[in-house]
Structure 1
Amino acid sequence: GIVSLLLLTYLLFTSLWLIPVLYLAWILFDWDTPEKGGRRLSCLRRWTVWKYFRDYFPVKLVKTHDLSPSHNYIIGSHPHGILCVGAFCNFITGSTGFEELFPGIRSYLTTLAGNFRLPLFREYLMSGGLFPVTRRAIGYLLSQKGTGNAVAIVIGGAAESLSCRPGVTTLILKNRKGFVRMALRHGAFLVPSFSFGENDLFRQVVFEEGSWMRSIQRRFQKMMGFAPCLFY
């Protein structure tokens, strides 16, 4: 995202300045598209590279119940982990066979709204089926795009990522009831999803509550929407 922003800024001061100018004009025209379901591209969701991504970790999608395409769904995904590898692989790529396991269901994944303000990066996110984790965006998808939509939300968010470590699962749920209200408002079914092993993918330097480093992480998270994690 930052790289694309720097690239467009650089092009502004070259003979190719018209390219970023036209693209920025397009962004202004297209500003609300992320809030209206985005632009899914099946060819990108089925990229061969995602199969290598799936096999590297590895990731497997296990179905425990059928989902009827005559309803809409909110999938509560846990835990966040460092990079949400399980949720990304299962709901954004076609590598684990979501569409084959749940015929007629279109899966989406929510992420920070700020990501859709980054030039070029926003196009990539929308092509996979990502859209902002906002009331407006979720409400639009559940009420204006027919049935058969499954919106995955990683409930714990960035705050949960600060506590992830191998062998330990800490979920943040107590003050995260907004997705339940959205489901009630739009008549969507709630579906739980758990990524076993998500917290075991990386080792994080976890700073204890009350430490100055944890306070820096918290403040950064409040300002930017995501938490800086030290992991390897």
Structure 2
Amino acid sequence: MTKTQRKYFLEASSVLQWILTFLFLGVTCIMLMVGLMFTSLWLLPTLYFIWLVIDWQTPEKGGRRKPSVRKWKVWEHYRDYFPIKLVKTAELNPNKNYILGCHPHGIMSVGAFACFNIECCGFSEAFPGMRVSLAILAGLFRIPLFRDYLMAAGLCPVSRPSLGHLLSKHGTGNAVVIVIGGAAESLASHPEAQTVIVKQRKGFVRLALEYGADLVPVYSFGETELFHQVTFSEGSLGRRLQDLFKKVMGFAPCLFIGDRWAVLPYRTPITTVVGHPISVPERVTPTEEEVDHYHKLYMDALSNLFHEHKVSCGLSESHKLCLM
């Protein structure tokens, strides 16, 4: 079906607003609240900050999800821009809880956001009875106003109290999505490269054992093709600054170049494949041997998922998955 110029415009506008939100909305909220303190409207931010203190722990306790935000029409245009598709390979039992490990991070985790945080790729229809929550950097929930938008969209902090609450206080049928590689993996995001940082990331496995949540590997094919990243060599000033920023702030500032206006990503199809669950027993205090065992099972399952679907998702048979 041929797209009209209006459809192209709506798609580009939808993606642009999301990128600007991703890059600038947090900073804008801080500047707005601080700026208002020095105007005749100072009472508004004062009352908000009082409310913020009272409401400080809400993100760690499930947040305030607004289903209407997740179903905005703008997200359908966002999905169609690339386009993005969710592929189901196995059932998820709504009588159990799950931790979905999503790979790779890419620059902005577009596939994870579209498939697990907004209702445009059909997760609820594919996995009836499941309540999915995408976990992101906890520090973002300390930003005034921005935190309220994140919670309304159903996002949650990737912190132990937050994830533990979702896996223990909401009954069953919870699917918590963690982009395992985090900031370090974003720096390794390059077209044609399929690099996953997971070998030393075992906290999610320990969490799964503590709450008896099954592990599910997820791979977003096409995620690393959306932007060209400016790479700084190890030891260079630019890389040292990135590493310092990552250590202090929890995420790494990536310098990237997209398609139109150098900001919009390339229109590359993204296929997010949800793998088969790995059954995990509940252990109040899991041993290191148990953590290592299920971590290896997870890495093997992730590798199998990649190689089973890579050709159908646009990669060549020769493509390899680099586990770091």
* TM range, smaller chain: over 0.9
1:50-102 Cα offsets, whole Å, 9 max, x none, are 01111112211111111111111100000000000000111110010111111
Aligned equivalent of 2:32: 7
Question: 2:44 & 2:56 partners in 1: Cα distance?
Answer: 18
Task: Output the TM-score relative to the length of structure 2.
Answer: 0.70
Aligned equivalent of 2:145: 120
One-letter amino acid matched to 2:149 = Y
Gaps of 5+ in 2: 1-25, 258-324
Aligned equivalent of 1:78: 103
The answer to whether structure 1 residue 184 and structure 2 residue 204 are counterparts is no
The answer to whether structure 1 residue 195 and structure 2 residue 220 are counterparts is yes
Deviation of the 1:210 alpha carbon: 2.8
Aligned equivalent of 1:209: 234
Deviation of the 1:211 alpha carbon: 2.5
What secondary structure does 1:61 align onto? Answer: strand
1:102-153 Cα offsets, whole Å, 9 max, x none, are 1111110111111001011001111112111111111111011111110000
Question: 2:128 & 2:182 partners in 1: Cα distance?
Answer: 28
The answer to whether structure 1 residue 89 and structure 2 residue 114 are counterparts is yes
What secondary structure does 1:164 align onto? Answer: coil
What secondary structure does 1:191 align onto? Answer: strand
Aligned equivalent of 1:23: 48
Gaps of 5+ in 1: none
| Structure 1 residue corresponding to 2:157, chosen from 128, 132, 143 | 132
Select the structure with the greater relative contact order (CA < 8 A; seq sep ≥ 6): 1
Deviation of the 1:206 alpha carbon: 1.5
The answer to whether structure 1 residue 111 and structure 2 residue 125 are counterparts is no
Q: Which moved more, 1:192-201 or 1:216-225?
A: 216-225
Deviation of the 1:208 alpha carbon: 2.3
One-letter amino acid matched to 1:185 = E
1:131-186 Cα offsets, whole Å, 9 max, x none, are 11111111111011111110000000001000110010111111110000000000
| Runs of 4+ displaced beyond 2 Å | 208-212
| Structure 2 residue corresponding to 1:162, chosen from 162, 166, 187 | 187
Question: 2:107 & 2:38 partners in 1: Cα distance?
Answer: 37
Q: CA RMSD in A?
A: 0.9
Aligned equivalent of 1:53: 78
What secondary structure does 1:151 align onto? Answer: strand
One-letter amino acid matched to 1:135 = R
The answer to whether structure 1 residue 144 and structure 2 residue 169 are counterparts is yes
The answer to whether structure 1 residue 226 and structure 2 residue 251 are counterparts is yes
Question: 1:90 & 1:103 partners in 2: Cα distance?
Answer: 14
Question: 1:169 & 1:148 partners in 2: Cα distance?
Answer: 31
Aligned equivalent of 1:64: 89
Question: 2:90 & 2:172 partners in 1: Cα distance?
Answer: 18
What secondary structure does 1:75 align onto? Answer: strand
Deviation of the 1:209 alpha carbon: 2.2
Structure of larger gyration radius? 2
Task: Output the TM-score relative to the length of structure 1.
Answer: 0.98
1:19-49 Cα offsets, whole Å, 9 max, x none, are 1111111111110010011111100000000
